[in-house]
Amino acid sequence: MACESRKCDFFVWVDTIVPKSHLDTLKRVEYLMNGVEELENRNHSLEKRNIKLEKSKLA
């Protein structure tokens, strides 16, 4: 499975201890983790854009 190491570590850990009955919860956790990652990526791109704007104001 190709993914970030923290995600892989998380899912490997989960696979070893969580019973099958908790799969719905795991799917929700995965959904939330993906949402957090998307927000982090969006925040990073906004920060980069903000730096470009600041540089253009200084020029």
**Total domains present in the chain:** 1
pLDDT tens figures, 11-58:
555 555 656 667 777 787 888 888 888 888 898 999 999 988 888 888
Higher per-residue pLDDT: 59 or 10: 59
Question: Is residue 1 one of the residues assigned to a domain?
Answer: no
User: What would the DSSP string read from start to end of 2-57?
Assistant: -S-HHHHHHHHHHHHH--GGGHHHHHHHHHHHHHHHHHHHHHHHHHHHHHHHHHHH
- The torsion angles phi and psi of 39, rounded to 5 degrees, stand at -65, -40
Question: Is residue 54 one of the residues assigned to a domain?
Answer: yes
Question: Is residue 35 one of the residues assigned to a domain?
Answer: yes
Question: Is residue 42 one of the residues assigned to a domain?
Answer: yes
Query: Can you give the residue range of the structural domain that contains 35?
Result: 7-58
Q: What does the pLDDT read at residue 2?
A: 46
